[in-house]
C-alpha cells in the first residue's frame, strides 16, 4: 500500500513485471481539479486554449488527487514553456503535474 493525495492505493505487480495501480475515478470538473481554465465539455477542461509566451496551447486538465495538465505539440514545434509558468499564471495549483506530448504521425 502507498499513501498519496488521493488516499491509499494498492499497487499490484503483474506477471510481466509491470505495476498496475487503481487510482480511482478521475476528477474532470475544472473547479474541482482545481484550475482557473474555463470548462469546454460538460464541465471538463478539454483542449482549452491557453496563450503562454506568445504561443497558444490546447490544455486538458484532470485530477487524480493532485492537478494534472496535458498539452500536445500539434505543429511539430518543441514546447518551450515549463510547468512552473502555468502555476505562476495561476492556471493550476502550486502542486501540479504538467505533461507535454508530441504526436508523431
How does pLDDT run across 1-46, given as a tens digit for each residue?
777 666 777 889 999 999 998 878 889 998 898 888 899 999 999 9
Buried b (16+ CB within 10 A) or exposed e, 4-42: eeeeeeeeeeeeeeeeeeeeeeebbbbeebbbebebbee
The grid coordinates of residue 58 equal 490546447
Per-residue pLDDT, 68: 82
Q: pTM for the full model?
A: 0.67
Percent of the chain with pLDDT over 90: 17
Segments making up each domain of the chain, as ranges: 25-102
Amino acid at each position: 500500500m502507498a499513501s498519496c493525495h488521493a488516499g491509499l492505493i494498492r499497487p499490484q505487480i503483474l506477471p510481466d513485471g509491470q505495476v498496475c495501480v487503481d487510482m480511482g475515478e478521475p476528477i474532470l470538473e475544472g473547479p474541482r481539479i482545481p484550475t482557473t481554465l474555463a470548462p469546454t465539455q460538460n464541465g471538463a477542461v478539454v483542449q482549452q486554449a491557453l496563450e503562454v509566451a506568445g504561443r497558444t496551447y490546447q490544455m486538458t486538465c484532470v485530477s487524480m488527487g493532485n492537478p494534472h495538465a496535458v498539452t500536445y505539440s500539434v505543429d511539430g514545434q518543441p514546447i518551450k514553456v515549463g510547468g512552473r509558468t502555468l502555476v505562476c499564471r495561476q492556471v493550476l495549483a502550486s502542486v501540479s503535474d504538467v505533461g507535454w506530448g508530441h504526436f508523431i504521425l
